[in-house]
Structure 1
Amino acid sequence: MINYREILRLDAQQVSKRGIAASCKCSRNMINDVLEEAEKKGISWPLPEGLGDKELQKLLFPEKHAKDERYLPDMDYVHKEMAKTGVTLSLLWHEYVLACRNRNQIPYSYRQFCREYTKFVTTTKATMRIKRKPAEILEVDWAGSTMSVRDQTTGEVLDVFLFVATLPCSAYSYVEGFYSMNSLNWITGHIHAFEFFGGVPQTVIPDNLKTGVDKPSYSDPVINRTYQELAEHYQTVIIPARVRKPKDKPSVEGTVGTITTWIIASLRNQVFFSLQELNEAVRLKLEEFNQKEFQKKKGSRLTAFLEEEKFALLPLPASRYEMAHWKKATVQPDYHIAEDKMYYSVPYEYIKHVVEIRITRTLVEVFFNNFRIASHKRLFGKEGQTSTVFEHLPAKHQQFLMFTPIHFIEWGASVGPSTEKAVRTILANGTNEKQALKLCQGLSKLVPPYSERELEVACEKSLAFSPRVSLNTIKTILKTEREIKTTTPSKTKTASLSKEHGFVRGADYYGRKDQ
């Protein structure tokens, strides 16, 4: 841009036009044009106070000023729109150009539009939404360097591994130490990170570690069953980074390097005697790390998270995810599976089938082809305990378990008071419980060939004859009562025939029994 102010100042000091052109780095023709326009419009040095360069240009060359005057978009609106999924600067520039055409205004070029947005973000905002959307991704990893805890009793030094989670948009991070990098600690780290952020991102990007990915693949990776359950519980998606491609999660990789210096190195001279003590020190350093001001832009990781990203996180579920692990087992001939030396029943139809077991802190669930076929409360304490569901047993085994005095008493009561009294009498007068139960079973088997009403009448008559109940007596009574019912109509019919024909003696005279 031509420095009109400097040209007028040097001319007032009687510097030659050649000298002015050399100092202002413009041609002598331009110097002549500026001085002629200033003389025409009565502008001379010193200039009025408050007259800026743009105002001076507008006074000297209003036609040039009109050409350079372009419509500047609302960058605050652009920044808010960039937080939405799928929105890019290219799309917003296209909409901006259409709006300028409708208003008969001159738009900025795409390059200048991007430059203005970058300038706006670096001067007024802490986060730039060009490559990362708010709450779109959470990158997780284990730090390469370790810390240590000294056992107070033995003096043994135990390694502590740091779990690191970073939101790329704001660079806001979470760090926690664990004694090992197993699946339990990996899942626990995710749960604590979600609670630390106060929400859940749309996508989680881990490494291809065994605790998270069973089978790495570019197109179709196999996620660990427990890890996938965690994602489903928190309504997020797990997309592992490609093998040996650290650029797929550059934010957490950079944070791991910074954490190594800011937390691990800064605490190198402190001795910790418990994991809780170490994590408290790590948490204090983490607060300092997240509140540290950016070097090249305003704000910090914390302010960027609160202003630019927290609003976009998915809400936490009502309950925390309960850690579960899976294993496979074969159903034994006794229709039970073993877990931690405890035994749990499954339906007997699955004997010799391979099933999947899901074990939580309180439950043991059994699945076959992704369908739950059994669920038990987890057993603790003495080894060898058994949890058996009655419906899982075969019919004969169910009958065997039902072969008890209480069962027969309840059955007798359902038939009638006399039958119940007969059952109680058998159980009370039997010399051996097993023998008495067999008699009760024999009594119950009389129901299919005879009705419950007939059995109730037979028991009532048997008890009237003798206080001791005999199974054979009851059978005789039932048989006799049945015969009486079947023969009575025949005698009536024969008698009526004899009355019609007086000279006919009838079948009963000869002792014949109608069948």
Structure 2
Amino acid sequence: MLNRSYQVLAEYYGISIVPARVRKPQDKSAAEASVRLVETWIIAALRDMKFFSLKEVNEAVAEKLEELNNREFKQHIGTRRSAYLEEEQAYMLPLPTAPFEAAVWSAAKVPNDYLVSDGRNKYSVPYNLIGEKVDIRATKTIVEVYFHGSRVASHRRLQTKQREPLMKLEHMPQEHQRYLAYNAEDFKTWAMSVGPMTEKAVYHFLDSGKAPEQGYKACASLMKLGERYSKERLENACGRVLAFTTTPSVRNISSLLKNEKALPDLLQPEQPKNINRYGITRGAAYFKKGGEQK
């Protein structure tokens, strides 16, 4: 079996990898011989040299590699370079335009907020993948998310830890997209088109928190009630709730709209029963048999 990164490397360059079998050293004898030869001609030959930059090392290695490729075979005619040009070059594929970039793979289950993490920051995926397992590929510059082998999301990778996730509008459901478009002025304009009582309720929701955004959910719920029951009924319900309290809630307004006949009685202040108007506390039934028996 190939590990994920090695498999992706092979697919990127269009090559096939045949893994060696377990406890079968003969499967890699040719490769091991080549490794030993390169160690002798390049690494061992340069072991006593001192370099002061990576550029110097690469230049020295390239020089020794050229010498190795042009060295005559002992048992065959030609060199490694001539063998490549005559036998192998015709089968070589062109290299991709960009070199392969190593990546770190991980798996995750998409949570309810449809955000996945690269270990430092969070990135959005399509909301319909909530509850599904996805594969995350993170390179130095990009974060990609795959579902059943198909890429479903791609983000530029944030280099520093951010408080807010990196979101894409198309990954959100319609309700969340509308929520991002909300603003206080639009709510006020809509409330003005309904009536003064609704406008008063909206102003209360927007001003009741430390920031207007805290009242957006209540205002959005009020708009939905207007669409469901009509603006006229919503204005009437807001007026009746505001007549009873200075702190209206969406729950009270919604309950009134659902049961307009029963709820108004509940909203009226309870009046004390006037049972002592004439000073009779026990009533006629008490005296019917002569009063309490001792």
TM-score by shorter chain over 0.5:
yes
The 8 Å contact of residues 343 and 384 in structure 1, kept in 2 or not, is answered as no
Secondary structure at the counterpart of residue 90 of structure 2? helix
Q: Does 1:355 align with 2:131?
A: no
TM-score, with length taken from structure 1: 0.37
Partners of 1:433 and 1:297 in 2: CA distance: 87
Q: 1:407 to 1:376 in 2, by over 3 A?
A: farther
The 8 Å contact of residues 345 and 387 in structure 1, kept in 2 or not, is answered as yes
User: Alpha-carbon deviation of 1:288?
Assistant: 0.6
User: Alpha-carbon deviation of 1:326?
Assistant: 0.9
Q: 1:233 to 1:406 in 2, by over 3 A?
A: farther
Secondary structure at the counterpart of residue 309 of structure 1? helix
Partners of 1:439 and 1:250 in 2: CA distance: 74
User: Alpha-carbon deviation of 1:403?
Assistant: 3.5
Secondary structure at the counterpart of residue 248 of structure 1? helix
Structure 1 or 2, whichever has the larger Rg, is 1
Show the counterpart of 1:346. 125
User: Alpha-carbon deviation of 1:357?
Assistant: 1.0
Gaps of 5+ in 2: 209-214, 240-294
Q: 1:441 to 1:313 in 2, by over 3 A?
A: same
Q: 1:276 to 1:385 in 2, by over 3 A?
A: farther
Per-residue CA deviation, residues 341-382 of structure 1 (Å, 9 max, x unaligned), is 211233455555443211123322223443444333221223
Q: How many residues align?
A: 227
Show the counterpart of 2:17. 238
Show the counterpart of 1:310. 89
Secondary structure at the counterpart of residue 287 of structure 1? helix
AA aligned to 2:143 is V
Q: Does 1:367 align with 2:131?
A: no
Gaps of 5+ in 1: 1-221, 413-418, 459-469, 476-515
Q: Does 1:280 align with 2:59?
A: yes
Show the counterpart of 1:268. 47
Q: 1:310 to 1:266 in 2, by over 3 A?
A: same
Show the counterpart of 2:274. none
Show the counterpart of 1:389. 168
Partners of 1:256 and 1:439 in 2: CA distance: 71
Partners of 2:55 and 2:22 in 1: CA distance: 34
Higher strand share: 1
The 8 Å contact of residues 326 and 358 in structure 1, kept in 2 or not, is answered as yes
Show the counterpart of 2:6. 227
The 8 Å contact of residues 241 and 248 in structure 1, kept in 2 or not, is answered as yes
Considering only aligned residues, what root-mean-square deviation do their CA atoms show, in Å?
A: 4.0
Q: Please list, as runs of the form range in 1=range in 2, the aligned pairs for 1:2-401 lying within 5 A after superposition.
A: 222-348=1-127, 350-351=129-130, 353-393=132-172, 397-398=176-177, 400-401=179-180
Secondary structure at the counterpart of residue 277 of structure 1? helix
The 8 Å contact of residues 120 and 161 in structure 2, kept in 1 or not, is answered as no
Per-residue CA deviation, residues 2-30 of structure 1 (Å, 9 max, x unaligned), is xxxxxxxxxxxxxxxxxxxxxxxxxxxxx
Per-residue CA deviation, residues 315-358 of structure 1 (Å, 9 max, x unaligned), is 22344333322112233444322223211233455555443211
TM-score, with length taken from structure 2: 0.60
Partners of 1:363 and 1:357 in 2: CA distance: 11
Partners of 1:352 and 1:227 in 2: CA distance: 28
The 8 Å contact of residues 337 and 344 in structure 1, kept in 2 or not, is answered as yes
Q: Does 1:446 align with 2:226?
A: yes
